[in-house]
Structures are given as C-alpha cells and as structure tokens.
Chains A and B, each alone.
Chain A
Amino acid sequence: MAKAEMKYDTQPENEEHSSLKGTLASVFILGAILVVTWVGVYFLYLDRF
C-alpha cells in the first residue's frame, strides 16, 4: 500500500483499478431518500396550522 501511494505521481491510472460506481450509486440513493423525507416533512409542516 505504502509503495503504491508513493508511486502515485507516476501511476495516475490507479483510479481505474478501484471502481466506486456502486458506492456512488448507494450514496446518492441514500441522499435522495434523505432529501425526499426533508421536503416531505417540510410540506407537511406548511400544510398544517
């Protein structure tokens, strides 16, 4: 690991080795759920007196 990090500057293709697509998708799915619940609760608040 340490070696790979040291060699980072000469090995920019490192990014291709670790695919984070699934992580990105799950992070944004979770983010979307949070945003939808916030907005939902906010409109519930506006609708009530």
Chain B
Amino acid sequence: MHMHKFEKIWLIFGVTALLVFLTVLGVSAFYLGNQPPSCLATVDPEKVDTTAPFNEPGLKKVEGKDWDYELVFVAQAFAYTPGDVEVPLGAKVKVIATTKDVIHGFEVAGTNINMMVEPGYISELVTTFDKPGEYLVLCNEYCGSGHHMMTSKIKVVE
C-alpha cells in the first residue's frame, strides 16, 4: 500500500498519543491505585440513618488511617446533611457520601471534589483541604423540582 510520508508522520503521532494515554491510565489505576469515587462499597439505602458512618454526618477526627478526618455527607431530595461544615486548613480528609433516595451530585465548586452519589452505593474521595475559603457544595445531577436549591457549604478555616 502506498502511503504518503506525511500520513506516516501523523499516524505515528496519533498512535503515540494513544499509547501515552493508555500508559497514563494504566499507571494511575494499577500503580497509584486510583479508582472512581463509587467503587464497590454499598449501603442499604433504606437504612442509611442507622448505618455507620452515616448515622453521624459531619466531620470526625480519625486515628491510625491515611487521612486525619472523615467528612460524612448524606444527600436526599433536596438537601445535604450537614448543611454547613468547617474543616481545618491543611487537613487530609476522606469525604464519604451516599444518598437516601435518588441519584444526586456532590460537587464542591472550584475543587477536584466531584462525585456522583447513587442510592445503595458509597462514594469516597480523599483530599487535602489546603486552601482557606468558603466552598459551595452543589448537586449537579438533576434530582427533581428542588434540584437547584440543593446546596451545602464547606468552610476551610485556619
């Protein structure tokens, strides 16, 4: 098959880009252990209120783990519990969230915290709150008529 020299150049470029992508993905998943926020952890959506850690939503200090705090959120139409929470600056926090009814979003605007919360599943994400300020938590999965009112607030304080 005859192939123009330029065609070979951009095909090599494209195939290289694909290989770089797959390598990055593989290293991220299998070496660094990155996984989606909702990864096999489950909870009975009807017993969320009585199941730990969701029976006590909010920030809790933990010992002997890779993170210093656990921040537990329960979502339901059309609010989050807690509706307002303070996190100390520089704290390494595991955010743990689930929902009691339908699918909700859990996005902390202006940060990398952005998860889907699905009934029956626990979404988790570990991050270090290293910038002070007031952050808006909002639902970015349409969940019903009050969807646009569904917010919470995280204050990162010194």
Which residues of A line the B interface, CB within 8 A?
5, 8, 14-15, 18, 20-21, 23-24, 27-28, 31, 35, 45, 48-49
Which residues in B have their C-beta under 8 angstroms from that of A21? 6
Which residues in A have their C-beta under 8 angstroms from that of B61? none
- Find the B residue at minimum CB distance from A15: B4
Q: How many A-B residue pairs have CB under 8 A?
A: 34
State A31–B12 Cα separation when bound (angstroms).
Answer: 12
A48 near B10 with CB under 8 A, answer: no
* Residue of A20, A28, A45 touching B4 (CB-CB under 8 A): A20
B4 near A18 with CB under 8 A, answer: yes
- Nearest-CB distance from B9 to chain A (Å)? 7
Which residues in A have their C-beta under 8 angstroms from that of B131? 49
Which residues in A have their C-beta under 8 angstroms from that of B127? 49
Which residues of B line the A interface, CB within 8 A?
2, 4-7, 9-10, 13, 17, 110-113, 127-131
A-B contact pairs, 28 of them (CB 8 A): A5-B2, A8-B2, A14-B2, A15-B4, A15-B5, A18-B4, A20-B4, A20-B6, A20-B7, A21-B6, A23-B6, A24-B6, A24-B9, A24-B10, A27-B13, A28-B10, A31-B13, A31-B17, A35-B17, A45-B112, A48-B110, A48-B111, A49-B112, A49-B113, A49-B127, A49-B128, A49-B129, A49-B131
